[in-house]
A and B are shown apart, each in its own frame.
Chain A
Amino acid sequence: MKKLITKIEGEATLQIQGDEVVEWVDIEFHQFRGIEKYLENKHYMDALVINPRVCGICGHSHLIATAKAIENAFEAELSDKAKYIRELTLNFEIIENHIKWFYITLFPTQIKDKKYLFKALQFSQKISQAIALIAGQYPHNSYAIPGGITSDITYLDLTKVKNILLELQKFENEIWDDFDLFFKNLPKETGKSNNRFLTKDLDISKVKEIQNNPYQNVTYDGLYYETGPLARMKKNIEFVYQEYEDSIYSRIYARVYEIFYLINKNIEIISLVDLSEKSYIKPKIISNKGYSIIEAPRGILIHEIEILNEKIKRYNIIVPTQFNLSNGTKENPSAAQKAMINERKEYLDTIFKCFDICAVCVGH
């Protein structure tokens, strides 16, 4: 049976074997844009404008990953201020992504009611505004550049950002109530997977891309791993993980938990920023290779660059959805495949979407 999945930042097709219960699933993505090739021979700074356009929902992560990959090549120095401010905006993107994913992508798989869309947008518009106060606009700014940030923000800006965070804190109980509502008719043990997790402190030499037209599967040391909020927040939500392991319940719990974890983190960061420091320290341009590994909303994001005479010679992007949604084999299934096997078909949409898929990122 073939099932087209939409509303996931693009589309995917599932080729399903089995009648009532899923025996096997092949995952297919269709879009391919060739951004890595497009970057070749362009000035390295142009990547800061092109790469956010990989994705409309996590483009800021691609910006930060680009700036860091170039900095790695240049061995650039950064002020604490620039590091803190970038962490703020990256966290904001993760928060915004999770809230939109929860209410706009995931919620309708169980509960269809427009009011949840507007609840999400009321929240996410504030987050976009907080990013814009620092970075000029959202989506698609290019304020993070090798050596720091372009903006010279003031405490006036930070005061506004902080107050947005304090406003958002008030949503906490309401969102957890909606979380409980979502699981009202859904077995919490559904969608257990490989129980193998990967976060950004990995050994990049063990990451391997395997061609699977038109995109690439990604293994780590030969196996498929799960990356993303559950991998990051596992320790913080130990009590949930102990009981439900890597089921849809833990996976969704981790994402909702991370929203408020990062809101609190950002309030703390604002208290630590010293605006007397430099926003930008001009780096020394050298021809070299560099890479970056960051935690984007959906998990590990890797950018690799090779710069020759200020031009991009080679660029490579590995996105979180490639890790989680690879099309593996029955002996070695990816996290999403394993989660769907032996489950009833009626839960398929929810299980698949609980990985927070980004098809446009896969089709970079």
Chain B
Amino acid sequence: MHLKPKVIWIDAIGCNGCSHSFFNLPYLSTLLEKLDILYHPLLESDEFKIQESDILVIEGALKDIKKFDSNLLTIIEKLFVNTKRVIALGSCASFGGMFGEGLIFNKEKLGKFYPCKNKVINLPGCPIHPEWLGYIFDMLIENKPILLDEENRPKEIYSFVSHSGCIRNEYFDWKVDSDDFGSKEGCLFYNQGCQGPFTHSSCNKILWNEVSSKPRAGTPCFGCTERNFPKENLFKTDTMMGIPSKIPLGVTKRAYLTLAGIAKSLKNERLEKRLFEYEKTNNKNRG
């Protein structure tokens, strides 16, 4: 690869959320110095034209629509054959998401570009985590091999589950569920629909905006990095006879239920009550 890889970043059908998420990368300015951005939908660049590149970033899903006085699919095909590596950015480009089709995979079927899958790195997430993309760019700049899993996702990011590092893990371990929304206590896996234990991502390992994550803010993980995102009933846990129908990755249902039963029966008293409660303040005096 060149000293400064040439990058074309094209927006397909989506919301530009991955671009805006990428703008939150703390070391963005030093990273951009190492890239030659030929086109980006928001950043200052020359006018779009079909040309060769080292890295092609496709943000958004594929659909047969008008784009730059041409057609989106035609443009992407031309860019695809004229580049060395393709980053399918976000869940839309990776799996189709809500609005169209993915590059090499769709929710169920394979994508149009599956025959060229060796060229593609899938970076699902809705939106993408800025540090995940920052890491991939850096690996490509340095020409280092990136380990990919069977869905072409970098193993260093997607071997973890969203649950890894969640501050509600104690509640998960001792089977203390959150009664309702708006509480710092309790696990969201049992009633609120949290998909953390079976979603491939490192959202609680590499925090969002360097400070938090959805489950930390009491919102369930919606499994936005998975092929079937978005599932229906995102705030409800799918159950079968009162038991979550999807269980943590890697264990049998029997093993999981045995351990869950023991944990629940042994009770962790500290976690059964609220950690602390505020007294009503005369907020006029605060500030």
Which residues of A are interface residues toward B (Cβ below 8 A)?
4, 6-7, 9-11, 30-33, 35, 38, 42-43, 45-46, 48-50, 53-57, 59, 100, 104-105, 108, 112, 114, 117-118, 121, 124-125, 128-129, 131-143, 145, 147-152, 154, 160, 271-276, 278-280, 282, 360
CB-defined A-B contacts under 8 Å, sample of 19: A6-B47, A7-B42, A10-B16, A43-B235, A48-B234, A48-B235, A49-B230, A50-B98, A56-B15, A125-B24, A128-B24, A133-B212, A135-B217, A145-B235, A148-B182, A149-B218, A274-B283, A278-B182, A280-B183
Q: Whole-angstrom distance between the alpha carbons of A121 and B278 in the complex? A: 36
| B209 contacts the other chain (CB 8 A) | yes
| B143 contacts the other chain (CB 8 A) | no
Beta-carbon nearest neighbor of A13 in chain B = B69
Chain B residues lying within 8 Å of A149, measured Cβ to Cβ, are: 181-182, 218
List which B2-24 residues lie within 8 A (CB) of chain A: 11, 13-21, 23-24
The answer to whether B236 touches A43, judged by C-beta atoms less than 8 angstroms apart, is: yes
A135-B217, A137-B212, A278-B182 known; A42 vs B232 contact (CB < 8 Å): yes
Q: Whole-angstrom distance between the alpha carbons of A140 and B218 in the complex? A: 14
| B137 contacts the other chain (CB 8 A) | no
Q: Whole-angstrom distance between the alpha carbons of A43 and B230 in the complex? A: 12
Chain A residues lying within 8 Å of B126, measured Cβ to Cβ, are: 53, 140
Extra A-B contacts (6), CB below 8 Å, given A33-B99, A143-B217, A274-B278: A6-B47, A7-B41, A46-B232, A55-B17, A137-B209, A141-B214
Chain B residues lying within 8 Å of A138, measured Cβ to Cβ, are: 24, 208-209
List which B164-219 residues lie within 8 A (CB) of chain A: 180-185, 203, 208-219
Beta-carbon nearest neighbor of A62 in chain B = B15
Chain B residues lying within 8 Å of A50, measured Cβ to Cβ, are: 98, 230
The answer to whether A152 touches B218, judged by C-beta atoms less than 8 angstroms apart, is: yes
Q: Whole-angstrom distance between the alpha carbons of A280 and B178 in the complex? A: 13
The answer to whether B222 touches A30, judged by C-beta atoms less than 8 angstroms apart, is: no
The answer to whether B127 touches A140, judged by C-beta atoms less than 8 angstroms apart, is: yes
Q: Whole-angstrom distance between the alpha carbons of A175 and B218 in the complex? A: 36
The answer to whether A121 touches B222, judged by C-beta atoms less than 8 angstroms apart, is: no
A53-B15, A118-B29 known; A137 vs B48 contact (CB < 8 Å): no
The answer to whether A59 touches B15, judged by C-beta atoms less than 8 angstroms apart, is: yes
Q: Whole-angstrom distance between the alpha carbons of A4 and B66 in the complex? A: 13
User: A6, A11, A276, A282: which contacts B278 (Cβ < 8 A)?
Assistant: A276
| B277 contacts the other chain (CB 8 A) | yes
B50 → chain A closest CB, angstroms: 15
| B279 contacts the other chain (CB 8 A) | yes
A4-B68, A30-B67, A282-B180 known; A136 vs B216 contact (CB < 8 Å): yes
The answer to whether A137 touches B208, judged by C-beta atoms less than 8 angstroms apart, is: yes
Chain B residues lying within 8 Å of A43, measured Cβ to Cβ, are: 232-236
The answer to whether A30 touches B65, judged by C-beta atoms less than 8 angstroms apart, is: yes
Beta-carbon nearest neighbor of A38 in chain B = B98
Count of A-B contacts with CB under 8 A? 201
| B287 contacts the other chain (CB 8 A) | yes
Q: Whole-angstrom distance between the alpha carbons of A35 and B236 in the complex? A: 22
A56-B20, A112-B44 known; A128 vs B217 contact (CB < 8 Å): no
Interface SS of chain B: loop
Q: Whole-angstrom distance between the alpha carbons of A38 and B13 in the complex? A: 15
Nearest 4 Cβ contacts at the A-B interface: A279-B182, A280-B182, A136-B217, A56-B17
Chain A residues lying within 8 Å of B185, measured Cβ to Cβ, are: 152
Beta-carbon nearest neighbor of B69 in chain A = A4
A89 → chain B closest CB, angstroms: 11
The answer to whether B219 touches A10, judged by C-beta atoms less than 8 angstroms apart, is: no
A308 → chain B closest CB, angstroms: 16
The answer to whether A360 touches B15, judged by C-beta atoms less than 8 angstroms apart, is: yes
The answer to whether B42 touches A104, judged by C-beta atoms less than 8 angstroms apart, is: yes
A71 → chain B closest CB, angstroms: 14
Beta-carbon nearest neighbor of B217 in chain A = A136
A214 → chain B closest CB, angstroms: 9
The answer to whether B219 touches A276, judged by C-beta atoms less than 8 angstroms apart, is: no
Chain A residues lying within 8 Å of B21, measured Cβ to Cβ, are: 56, 139-140
The answer to whether B29 touches A121, judged by C-beta atoms less than 8 angstroms apart, is: yes
| B26 contacts the other chain (CB 8 A) | yes
Chain B residues lying within 8 Å of A139, measured Cβ to Cβ, are: 17, 20-21, 127
Contact with A along B21-51 (1 / 0, CB 8 A): 1011010110000000000011110011000
Chain A residues lying within 8 Å of B214, measured Cβ to Cβ, are: 136-137, 141-143
Q: Whole-angstrom distance between the alpha carbons of A128 and B210 in the complex? A: 10
Q: Whole-angstrom distance between the alpha carbons of A307 and B41 in the complex? A: 37
Chain A residues lying within 8 Å of B23, measured Cβ to Cβ, are: 100, 121, 124-125
Chain B residues lying within 8 Å of A143, measured Cβ to Cβ, are: 214, 217-219
Chain A residues lying within 8 Å of B41, measured Cβ to Cβ, are: 6-7, 10
The answer to whether B278 touches A275, judged by C-beta atoms less than 8 angstroms apart, is: yes
The answer to whether A53 touches B98, judged by C-beta atoms less than 8 angstroms apart, is: yes
A128-B24, A138-B209, A280-B180 known; A271 vs B44 contact (CB < 8 Å): no
Chain B residues lying within 8 Å of A152, measured Cβ to Cβ, are: 182-185, 218
Beta-carbon nearest neighbor of A271 in chain B = B287
Contact with A along B56-86 (1 / 0, CB 8 A): 0000000001111100000000000000000
The answer to whether B13 touches A125, judged by C-beta atoms less than 8 angstroms apart, is: no
The answer to whether B16 touches A150, judged by C-beta atoms less than 8 angstroms apart, is: no
The answer to whether A117 touches B43, judged by C-beta atoms less than 8 angstroms apart, is: yes
The answer to whether A9 touches B232, judged by C-beta atoms less than 8 angstroms apart, is: no
Chain A residues lying within 8 Å of B14, measured Cβ to Cβ, are: 56, 360
The answer to whether A53 touches B17, judged by C-beta atoms less than 8 angstroms apart, is: yes
Q: Whole-angstrom distance between the alpha carbons of A108 and B43 in the complex? A: 10
Q: Whole-angstrom distance between the alpha carbons of A164 and B46 in the complex? A: 35
The answer to whether A150 touches B13, judged by C-beta atoms less than 8 angstroms apart, is: no
The answer to whether A136 touches B48, judged by C-beta atoms less than 8 angstroms apart, is: no
A148 → chain B closest CB, angstroms: 6
Chain A residues lying within 8 Å of B15, measured Cβ to Cβ, are: 53-56, 59, 360
